[in-house]
Amino acid sequence: MGAAPLSPAETIDRYLQFCEDRELEKAQEMLADSPRIVFPTGAEYGSLPEMVADQRGRYQWVRKHRDLFYEGRTPDGLVTVTSLGTLYGEDMEGRPFEGVRYVDVFVLRDGLIAEQHVYNDLADSGVSAPVRG
């Protein structure tokens, strides 16, 4: 008898943990084909390696205190998960930071992550400079 399937919130929690642990191959397996990953700068990515490469240089490292998960459904039956919490880590000068708000909104299709929309206060908190177009 196999393990019970993960709930949508558990799927997102596992994905975020893989990302934090830099187990990007495992995290990438949780993404649908041609995912849409959107960051506060407006940058959009179609893969985790692309996102990691572009985000390099914004901070030394960052992790999430994942406090709440909310699950929902879109009118066309897709599953949504919103993850709320705070970020902590180290900025580019090696200074620790914590308590920076974040919200991630995910759309799952057939149990895989089709979209991730990232919102956070890193630029407002002075941790990373906002990107100007």
User: 104 pairs with which residues across the strands?
Assistant: 83, 118
Q: How far apart are CA 130 and CA 128, in angstroms?
A: 6
Range of the domain at 41: 8-120
30 domain-assigned: yes
CA dist 47 and 43 (Å) reads: 12
Tens digit of each residue's pLDDT, the chain (133 residues): 667 788 999 999 999 999 999 999 999 999 999 999 999 888 899 988 898 888 777 888 899 999 999 999 999 989 999 999 999 999 989 999 999 999 999 999 999 999 999 999 988 887 765 544 4
CB 18 within 8 A of CB 30: yes
Which CATH number goes with the domain that contains 22? 3.10.450.50
Tokens describing residue 37: 């990953």
Secondary structure of 22-71 as H, E, C letters: CCHHHHHCCEEEEEEEECCCCCEECCHHHHHHHHCCCCCEEEEEEEEEEE
pTM of the model: 0.88
Q: Are 66 and 85 in contact (CB under 8 A)?
A: yes
Number of domains in the chain: 1
Cβ–Cβ under 8 Å, residues 13 and 21 = no
Give φ, ψ of 16 to 5 degrees. -65, -35
Domain membership flag for residue 130:
no
**Residue 18 maps to a domain:** yes
Name the token pair of 103: 């919200």
The CA-CA-CA angle for residues 16, 45, 126, to 5°, reads 70
